[in-house]
Amino acid sequence: MSKKRPVNLDISTISQPVTAIVSILHRATGIILFVGLIFLFYAFDVSLESQEGFDHVVDMLQNNFLAKFIIWGVVSALMYHFVAGIKHLFMDLGYFEELESGRQAAIANLVIAAVLIVLAGVWIW
């Protein structure tokens, strides 16, 4: 192995293309959804135990900022993951596989997901 090969260990200087960012975010939102299910299953379990449990969950989701923020985070991850998943389905059909069309699809993915995330925030708050 050549000892003269370039080594760049400073991650802040590496510029990722938009398609890589979209792919990384798709994987990250999948992890967020998996972890977020813990909170959703807990709220669902408490709400099904009794009428008081249901009322507690409803009150928590209406008045607790942290609960709203967690729900918004999970819904935001779901929106982004859904949009990126649809883009991947189109890619499986043979669309957006070229460099430029893939870049445009990635930008469209980010824009559509951002609009849906803002709408989810308005709906939750």
Q: What is the CATH number of domain 18-124?
A: 1.20.1300.10
pLDDT score for 75: 97
Residue boundaries of the structural domains of the chain: 18-124
Average pLDDT estimate for 102-106: 96
Q: What is this structure's pTM? A: 0.84
CB–CB of 74/41 below 8 Å? Answer: no
Token reading at 24: 């990384």
CA 39 remoteness from chain centre: 16
CB–CB of 18/84 below 8 Å? Answer: no
Output the CA–CA distances (angstroms, integers) from residue 54 to 30, 78, 112, in the order listed: 28, 24, 34
pLDDT score for 3: 74
